Amino acid sequence: MNNKSKGIGGINLIACLLLLAAMYWFMGQTGGQKNDFSYYDFEAALKAGEVSEVVIEPNKVVPTGTLVIKLENEEAEKLYVSDVKEIEELLQSYKVDYELEDVPQESVFVTAILPTLLMIGAAFILFTMMGKQGGGMNAKAMNFGKSRAKMSTETDNKVTFENVAGLHEEKEDLEEIVDFLREPGKYTRVGARIPKGVLLEGPPGTGKTLLAKAVAGEAKVPFFSISGSDFVEMFVGVGASRVRDLFQEAKENAPCIIFIDEIDAVARRRGTGMGGGHDEREQTLNQLLVEMDGFGVNEGIIVMAATNRVDILDPAILRPGRFDRKVMVGRPDVKGRYEILQVHAKGKPLGDDVDLQQIAQTTAGFTGADLENLLNESAIYAAKEGRAYLKQEDIRHAFVKIGIGSEKKSRVISDKEKKITAYHEAGHAILFHVLPDVGPVYSVSIIPTGVGAAGYTMPLPEKDEMFNTKGKMLQDIVVSLGGRVAEEMIFDDITTGASQDIKQATAYAKAMVTKFGMSDQVGLINYDNDSDEVFVGRDFGKTSRGYGEQVATMIDMEVKRIIDECYAKAKSILKENEKILHSCAELLLEKEKIPREEFEALF
C-alpha cells in the first residue's frame, strides 16, 4: 500500500484526539510519572536507614499503588509498586513509619460519564465524515473502502523456508509456486497452467501463516496479507470494495502473493445463515470469486489462503481456477517437533542438560506455536531465576504450565495412552492391508488430531466406485472393529477410544440390513426410516418406526450377527499377524507417523 492515507484532515485530527483522551481516561490515570527512582534504590535506602517516612497511596486497581517516599536530606520520591501488601510487610520488617491511605473513590462523572461522552463525540464526528465522503470533500482521507492489506516487500520479508521447520512435504508442494513466481516465463512458454489459489489447511498454530510468508520470501516477491475478518465490516459493501482494492494493488505489484488468513470468516457456505444469511459476507465472497476468475491464469498473482475449517467453506471457492490446490498442514511428528525446537532454540543458550530430542518425544500433539511457546516460557523462567541459560528444569516447569493451562489444545499424552493408540491404529492398518477390497493404507499416525481422535489410519481408495459391494461393506466393518480387537489382544483392559469405530460399524451393519437388502433373514425390504432429506417439521411429530416389534427384533439380531462375525474375522486376522502388529506399533511409537512404503515394508 503506497500510504495514500497520509493526509489526515483537521476534523479527523480532532476525532483522533478525542479518542485518545477517552482511552486515557479508561485506562486509568496511572502512567505518565517520570522519575528514575527504582525499586532497587528504595531497597538500598531502606537498608541504609535513609527512609524516614512512606505514604502508601493504593490505586483503584488493587493491590497496586504508589509510594511517596520521604528520604533524609532529600525531597520525596515516588515509586509505583505492584503489591501494596508486600510493601507494608517490608516496611514493618525495617520498622519504618508508614501511612496507608484509602483506596480512592472517584466521582462517577470522571470514571464513567466523561469517557463515554468523549467516545460518543468521536463517533459522531466520524459518522459526519462518512456522510460527506460522497460529496468529495476530504473523501480520500478516511479510506473506508481501501484494502487493509499489509504489504511487505522483498526487502522486509526475511522469512524463508529455512525458518519453517519440519513440514517437508508441504514445502515440496509449494516449491513449484515459488519457482513460478521467480520465473513466470519458464512456465508460460510451455503453456503450463499454474494454480491461481492455494489453500493451506490445518489446525491453528501449525505454521500456515509462516509457510505463506516463506513462499513470498523464497520467491522474493511482495506479500499482501489480510485477514478474513478484516473484510467483514459493519457497513455493507465495504468488504467487497476492499477485495476489489486489494486485487487492484496486487496487479500493480505482480508478481506477488495475496494471502488471506482465516478465510473461513468470508468464505463460509453461502445461504446457510440463520435468518436469511449474511448479506455483507456474501457480497464480499462474491467479489472475491469474481476477482479470482477475473485475472488471467499467468498474471503472476498467486492467492494463498489459510483456514482450519475447510468443512465450512463455500464449495464454490474450491472450484478449478480458484483455490484448486490444497496443502494440508498437519501437526508435526517427533522429527518435525525436534526440528521446530531446534529453530526456536536459536538465540536461547541451552545448558548441557537440555535434551531437545527428549522434549520432542514427550510433546505429541503440540503444534509449532505450542513448541515456540514452550521454549519461550522456559526462557522466561530461566530469566526469573537470574540465569543466563536454560536448563532442562526450566523446560519441565514450562511444560507443566503449558500442559495444564491449555489442556484441551495440546493435551500431554501419557506413554500408556500412546502405546494403546499405537496398537489400536496398527490394528486398523493391518486389516486395511490384508483385506482385498479396502485400503491400501496411505499413512498411519498416532499424532492426536485435536478433534478428539488419538490417531488415524488413512486409506487411499484406489478406484472410484459407483457403488459398494456387500463384501466391501463387511470388510469396512472388520476394519472398524480392528482397533478395539488389537487393544484387547495386547492389554488386559479396553478403552473408550473405540466408540467412534463402533458407531461407524453399527451404522454400516444397520444400513446393510435395513437399506440395501443385504441380509437374507430380513430380505429386500427397506426399513430405513431416516429419510435422506430431513424436514424439521416433518420429522418432529414422527414417532412410529413404520414396522412391527417382530421386524425390529429381527433387524437387531441381524445387525448383531453381522457385527459378531466381523469381530471374529478381525480377531483371527490380527492373531495371524500378531508379529506385525507388534512391529507396527513399535514403529509408530518411535516415529508417530508412518507413510505407506514403510508400513508395507513390515509385511
Distance CA 474, CA 558 (A): 13
Catalytic pick among 218, 339, 425, 558: 425
Nearer to Zn ion, 242 or 484 (CB): 484
Say whether residue 483 binds Zn ion (CB under 5 A).
yes
Q: Minimum Å distance from CB 205 to ligand ADP? A: 5
96: cell is 519504618
Residue 167 touches which of Zn ion, Mg ion, ligand ADP, none (Cβ within 5-8 Å per kind): ligand ADP
161: cell is 523456508
Binding-residue pattern over the window 202 to 221 for ligand ADP, x denoting contact by CB under 6 A: --xxxxxxx-----------
Name the nearest CA neighbour of 558 among 501, 511, 492: 511
| Residue 193 DSSP one-character state | P
Nearer to Zn ion, 249 or 501 (CB): 501
Name the nearest CA neighbour of 211 among 178, 256, 251, 247: 178
Strand pairing partners for 53?
70
Nearer to Zn ion, 501 or 592 (CB): 501
Residue 73 three-state SS: coil
For residue 423, the one-letter residue type is: Y
For residue 33, the one-letter residue type is: Q
Say whether residue 455 binds Zn ion (CB under 5 A).
no
Using CB under 6 A, pick the residue from 15, 232, 313, 369 that binds ligand ADP.
369
Report the relative pairing of strands 77-81 and 65-71 from DSSP bridges. Answer: antiparallel
Say whether residue 164 binds ligand ADP (CB under 6 A).
yes
Strand pairing partners for 551?
none
| Residue 450 DSSP one-character state | S
Give the range of 11-19, 184-192, 205-213, 361-369 binding Mg ion by CB under 5 A: 205-213
Nearer to ligand ADP, 330 or 403 (CB): 330
Distance of CA 302 to the CA centre of its chain: 23
Dihedral, CA of residue 336, residue 340, residue 343 and residue 345, to nearest 10:
-130
Using CB under 6 A, pick the residue from 343, 380, 453, 502 that binds ligand ADP.
343
Say whether residue 348 binds ligand ADP (CB under 6 A).
no
Per-residue CA distances from 432 to 154, 460, 486, 539 (Å):
48, 10, 13, 37
Which residues have C-beta within 8 Å of that of residue 45, sequence separation ≥ 6? 51, 69, 71
Say whether residue 226 binds ligand ADP (CB under 6 A).
no
Give the range of 189-197, 299-307, 308-316, 494-502 binding Zn ion by CB under 5 A: 494-502
CB 148 within 8 A of CB 226: yes
Give the range of 208-216, 344-352, 371-379, 429-437 binding Mg ion by CB under 5 A: 208-216
Residue 453 three-state SS: coil
Among this protein's residues, is 425 annotated catalytic? yes
Say whether residue 209 binds Mg ion (CB under 5 A).
yes
Residue 518 three-state SS: coil
Question: What DSSP string describes 318-372?
Answer: GSTTSS-EEEE-----HHHHHHHHHHHHTTSPBPTT--HHHHHHT-TT--HHHHH
Which 500-559 positions form the footprint of Zn ion (CB under 5 A)? 501
Give the range of 105-113, 162-170, 388-396, 508-516 binding ligand ADP by CB under 6 A: 162-170
Distance CA 543, CA 223 (A): 58
Which residues have C-beta within 8 Å of that of residue 434, sequence separation ≥ 6? 573, 577
Residue 412 touches which of Mg ion, ligand ADP, Zn ion, none (Cβ within 5-8 Å per kind): none
Q: Minimum Å distance from CB 108 to ligand ADP? A: 43
Say whether residue 476 binds Zn ion (CB under 5 A).
no
Q: Minimum Å distance from CB 213 to ligand ADP? A: 8
Say whether residue 206 binds Mg ion (CB under 5 A).
no
Residue 483 touches which of ligand ADP, Mg ion, Zn ion, none (Cβ within 5-8 Å per kind): Zn ion
Which residues have C-beta within 8 Å of that of residue 166, sequence separation ≥ 6? 207, 332, 333, 335, 336, 337, 339, 340, 368
Q: Minimum Å distance from CB 332 to ligand ADP? A: 7
Q: Minimum Å distance from CB 158 to Mg ion? A: 18
Strand pairing partners for 257?
223, 302
Say whether residue 160 binds ligand ADP (CB under 6 A).
no
Say whether residue 368 binds ligand ADP (CB under 6 A).
yes
Nearer to ligand ADP, 402 or 490 (CB): 402
Distance CA 188, CA 402 (A): 49
Residue 437 touches which of Zn ion, Mg ion, ligand ADP, none (Cβ within 5-8 Å per kind): none
Residue 372 touches which of Mg ion, Zn ion, ligand ADP, none (Cβ within 5-8 Å per kind): ligand ADP
107: cell is 466521582
Q: Minimum Å distance from CB 176 to ligand ADP? A: 20
Which residues have C-beta within 8 Å of that of residue 10, sequence separation ≥ 6? none
Q: Minimum Å distance from CB 481 to Zn ion? A: 9
Q: Minimum Å distance from CB 245 to Mg ion? A: 22
Residue 501 touches which of Mg ion, Zn ion, ligand ADP, none (Cβ within 5-8 Å per kind): Zn ion
Contact residues: Zn ion, CB under 5 A = 483, 501
Contact residues: ligand ADP, CB under 6 A = 164-167, 204-210, 306, 340, 343, 368-369, 372
Contact residues: Mg ion, CB under 5 A = 209
Q: Give me the active site residues, please.
A: 425
